[in-house]
Amino acid sequence: MHPPNHTKLPFWLKLAIAAFTLVYTWFYYQPMLTEPYMLNDDVVQHYLWLFVDYYGLNWKDTFYADASAAIQPRGFYYLLWLLGRVFDPITISRGGPFLISLLTVGFGMGLLRRYTHFFIALAGCLLAVHLGLHTSVGFLARSFLMPLLLAFGYYLLRADQPWGLAGVTVASALFYPPALLLNGGIFGLWKLGELVQWLRGRGRRMQGKVEEAKQLRSPFHRWYVHLLGFGIALLVVLAHAQRVDTHPTLGGYLPNEEMMSLPELGIGGRVDISGALRATPSRRIAYFFYNDARTPFGDWFANAVLVLVVIFTGLRYKKLGKPGAWLIAFGVSSLVLFYFARHEFPLLFLPSRYLAYPYRLWIPMLFTFLLAVGWSYYPKTWLAVLCGSLLLGLGYYRQPPSKMPVHTESGRAYLFDAIAQLPESALIALPPHMADQVPVFARRNVFISFESAHALYFQNYHDYVIPRYQDYIEAMTTTGNDLAGTVAFMNKWDIDYLIIDRQQLREAEFSSFVPFRRQFEDRLKGTNVEDRTLLQLPDSVGMLLRERLHIVSREEIEELVQ
């Protein structure tokens, strides 16, 4: 027998749930732990400040690190800082998803167990953990979206712990502000529904039908607690937004018109902002919905699930009305914020994040709710076990461990090892597509990289990165025998070491985004391979890695010029 829905779980069972959650997470997450050079791509741009702080790196240029610190929500920033007193940044990044899984299952069980069988609730939470690994891998601020939404839903549906709800509201602002917006939208719709019911109840009471009216609590009950929670959260978010907008490292947001005109942020650019903002909204919504709700039965099944959730929220209102109403408010809030973010970009960031990240929780909860409905009509333990197995089976169908999104830099271990031998304070210019994880695995500063060239939405960031890209391309594509231009380039930017990709120069191909790839290829078009300046450096100068990558210092190039 499963524990009664209204009783507290015994401590041994809580430990068992926690252990099973960790094992389940490990089963799907373990490809990310199989080797030392496996890491989420986004870690470098969000953790760079922590690497500098943890290792006390003696970098002469910390702009990238300062920018990565400036954009972090304050609660998440200080959590990383605190963890960084004990653990190294890579361990924090890799171990963090296990914490997120525990929080997700803990609050998810608290929310669901009051309305359905223990097995169905647990399986639904684990499915959310599974699909949410796309969000939680790397342990970035967005990792907290699921537990924050579930914790808010837990306290909202209980209605007897307003201070808990207020606490989650403030935590949303501190750890991931989009979660505050989503929870705020859910709260507003929830209170609107309560107000309608309360007014209807008052009408019945005035007509002498008092039985139902007495059961309805005023939607304004403990209003001051909610006002305090959202008030503090709003102040936290506004302070963070103001701090980001006026941060001296970032230099404020670029005007929308300018951003939309930049090729780096257009089609084929580093971030396709124009596509995100101009794409047909219905197509964007359908893409994320059908992707996360994918089953062996096709899109019609996803549509049927959505319709059935709405229908059975009404039909089983007394037993499942609250979680059903929460799901409906959740979906509506996400859609409203998606449209709102399209008009308030970049303040609310790319609008797709209000679909991509929330749907990884919303969709598993839809399937869980529907199976909970079926079990409510025939509440047998064997049926609950079957329903839970279906949810876990759907997770495996959607994404077995072999198909987890992983990124490995193991093929560049030789490069990291060589760069790690250079002075700690050295600034190194190497092909951007090879430079992303150098600060992580070699702890050396790079001139430009794909991630550090993430132009984002800020004036200083863009002004800092783009001229470097342009000068780098010009220096790498020079022809003739004169290295004076190379020396001038390195002196201008105080570059200590240059890593030349001979294959890249021979084939005249530059692995980057527009417009820089085109600029590189256009400059070398029509030139002879033997005339390309940096291919003429003798092997005896510097260090040659695998007959392809040539590491030379500024001093060595200066000696060749003399």
Residue ranges with strand state E in 431-470: 445-446
Mean pLDDT score, 173-180: 96
Q: How far is CA 559 from CA 107, 487, 562, in A?
A: 64, 10, 5
Residue 294 main-chain phi, psi, to 5 deg: -65, 130
Q: How far is CA 395 from CA 31, 194, 324, in A?
A: 16, 35, 22
Q: Please report, as a single letter, which amino acid is at residue 255.
A: P
Q: How far is CA 65 from CA 324, 443, 463, 524, in A?
A: 44, 12, 16, 33
Domain limits, the chain: 19-39+71-403, 410-561
137-151, 229-243, 261-275, 281-295 — which is least confidently predicted?
261-275
Buried/exposed 535-560: b ≥16 CB within 10 Å, e otherwise: eebeeeebbbeeeebbbbbbeebeee
3-state SS string for 191-233 = HHHHHHHHHHHHHHHHCCCHHHHHHCCCCCCCHHHHHHHHHHH
Residue 260 main-chain phi, psi, to 5 deg: -65, -20
pLDDT above 70 covers what percent of the chain?
Answer: 96
Nearest to 38 by CA among 439, 530, 406: 406
Nearest to 158 by CA among 201, 222, 102, 105: 222
> Is 560 in contact with 482 (CB distance < 8 Å)?
no
With 90 as the cut, is the pLDDT of residue 126 above it?
Answer: yes
> Is 360 in contact with 128 (CB distance < 8 Å)?
yes
pLDDT value of residue 194: 86
Question: What would the two tokens of residue 163 be?
Answer: 């201070």
Q: What is the pLDDT of residues 396-408, one digit of tens each?
A: 999 898 888 778 8
What element of type H or E holds 551? strand 549-553
- C-alpha span between 562 and 554 (Å, rounded): 13
Higher pLDDT, 255 or 232: 232
Q: What is the mean pLDDT of the chain?
A: 90
- C-alpha span between 486 and 554 (Å, rounded): 9
- C-alpha span between 394 and 504 (Å, rounded): 44
Task: Please name the residues in contact with 338: beta carbons below 8 A apart, sequence gap of 6 or more.
Answer: 281, 284, 285, 351, 352, 354, 355
- C-alpha span between 124 and 317 (Å, rounded): 20
Q: What is the pLDDT of residues 1-36, one digit of tens each?
A: 444 465 788 999 999 999 999 999 999 999 888 888
* Mutual angle of helices 43-55 and 63-70, in 10-degree steps: 110
With 70 as the cut, is the pLDDT of residue 455 above it?
Answer: no
Asked if the peptide bond before residue 538 counts as cis, ω within 30 degrees of 0, the response is no
With 70 as the cut, is the pLDDT of residue 117 above it?
Answer: yes
Q: Please report, as a single letter, which amino acid is at residue 120.
A: I
- C-alpha span between 388 and 368 (Å, rounded): 9
With 60 as the cut, is the pLDDT of residue 210 above it?
Answer: no
* Mutual angle of helices 353-377 and 145-158, in 10-degree steps: 50
With 80 as the cut, is the pLDDT of residue 202 above it?
Answer: no
Q: Please report, as a single letter, which amino acid is at residue 422.
A: L
pLDDT value of residue 281: 86
Residues facing residue 429 across a β-bridge? 498
- C-alpha span between 524 and 510 (Å, rounded): 11
Higher pLDDT, 41 or 335: 335
> Is 37 in contact with 410 (CB distance < 8 Å)?
yes
Question: What would the two tokens of residue 39 be?
Answer: 């890491």
- C-alpha span between 49 and 59 (Å, rounded): 11
